[in-house]
Structure 1
Amino acid sequence: MTAQSNSRLNGASRLIYGCMGLGGDWDRPDYSPADVDKAAAAIEAARGIGITLFDHADIYTRGKAESVFGEVLAASPGLREQIQLQGKCGISLAEGGVPGYYDLGREAIRERVTASLRRLRTDYLDILLLHRPDPLLEPSEVAAAVGQLMAEGKVRALGVSNMSAAQIDYLQDALETPIMANQLEMSLHKAAWVESSVLVNRQEGFDAGFPHGTIEHCIRKGIELQAYGSLAQGRYSGAPSAAASPEETATAELLSRLAEEKGSTPEAVLLGWLMKHPARISPVVGSSRPERIAACAGAADVAASMTRIEWYTLWSTARGAAMP
């Protein structure tokens, strides 16, 4: 599969809406009508800027994120056919004295997907991501589960999250379906993914902790790179923090200046920096505030107009050091 054949990348928007903030508080056992209204407003704001892919995980707010989204779908006839749903499974949260653990066994995958579909009130996921690498993973088990889910029409495409090039290849060898996405934490703040590319043969490269070659592998194989945490938790585009580092303050000021020059917003510039990369990164927007979601509009235009000097200036300012 090539990057050009990945239909996700050829759509109107490369932005993805991340539903991790929907469903209310993580520690509250149930959601309220207000939580459903909040989800509806976030979904409407995301669709308003052209987003069609909505990213879920069965653990987000302990299943409530999927449930409130399902409520919105049930109240909006025809909406399901206008969007794509992406789910994740593989993480079991700590509960009842049992520590958190990962499970990508055959039955676990099937059970988790079935539960997600029930909460989302839909018959299928457009994309299923395996949420974390499971050290006890048996590729044949994953292949069996995914093959059956696809045969039943419950899953239409497969991806992974937080996996290296080697882990992707190890899994792909057992699969009949191509791995079409890899979701990683990538932002101007969490920049180990790009730091590793210029720190080859330097000690700092080992310290960066990012598996070098993963980005290049995904580009070569046509695997969509999805960036969670892309807005850097608001540290550059939100209200100034008294605890902000000098680098964060300088980066926020630079983003604001560039946004003004480009007639855009700091959020769009921040996402545009990611989207400028040749990997054609798809940022995941995780805010549940409609006004902040709306501020992400135009990120692709910013990416197209951003110069090499602007891109490197943002990076070097955020890293707080000159390029090696």
Structure 2
Amino acid sequence: MATLVFLEHHGSELLKGGLGVLSKAASLGDDVSGIVIGSGVRGLADEAGKFGAARVYVADDAQLEAPLPQPRVDVLAQLVRDKGADTILFANSVLAADTAAGLAARLDAGLNWDLVDIARNDGKLVGTRPALQDSVYVEVGWTSQPRIALFRTGSFDPVASGGAAETEDVPVQLEDFSTGARMVEQAHAESEGPSIEEADVVVAGGRGLGGPENFTLVEGLAKALGGAVGATRAVVDAGWYPYSTQVGQTGKTVSPKLYVACGISGAIQHKVGMQGSGVIVAINKDPNAPIFDFSDLGVVGDVHQIVPKLTELVEQRKGQ
């Protein structure tokens, strides 16, 4: 089976999500290719080969510089028709979601959304997706080809296999209507650490911090751990912290190796955005807070006392 993985990039780096999907696809034993689309992106092909791609298609053109979905749909649709890929995989992002949906419409293909796993069962590909506010997992499939899948953020870790990929340039022929939109302005949130979607560690704060001024505690611990800062919807709605950090049903879904919840009660809307984390540590003065029901480690106490001490201990350990 021929599988194609959409490899999104930011600047000169391929995003971890796409590399994780690439590694997963390679583990299934398929003939796996990656595709990098953009302007000045030829140098990214070698990295993809290290994570399981047998070949990497490169669509490098000035018309593809802006991260707009429609031109990417054009490139992908033509490549699928020319090369015969029967499965196209995406790691979730705003661009990937728009592109996957557009490609499904263009190819009249089935799209399974928000998957967290994929496997082969009796020779057929089967996806796993959360349902009912992530309280259960269901298996889903496709009734026709090509199959398109969009995976939840952090579903797979990149696994370097040390291989090398063949590189092949693909022609860029855009439909007239695909060039009608243009990027007017693009801004990136300033952050000293990794993005919340890519971070291995996320330290998040809730209303239990007491006020926006106390988010310095969360920021300090996140910096000490080399992680990113997250926030609950209540905090964002109150204007304490920017929406770009919101974790939950109406924010971002994260799956770090470590998630530290500071002063967060654990409402279901927040839970669905972080329960896929490897280890969840909760700090809350209320012993009956719902978050303790799904935490790996719970600390009952005042975040204003515990978090500074924890940050101090982490810094001491790093200095040894």
TM-score (norm 1): 0.28
- Per residue, is there more strand in 1 or in 2? 2
Higher helix proportion (structure 1 or 2):
1
What is the TM-score when the length of structure 2 is the normalising length? 0.29
Q: Which has the higher contact order (CA 8 A, sep 6+)?
A: 1
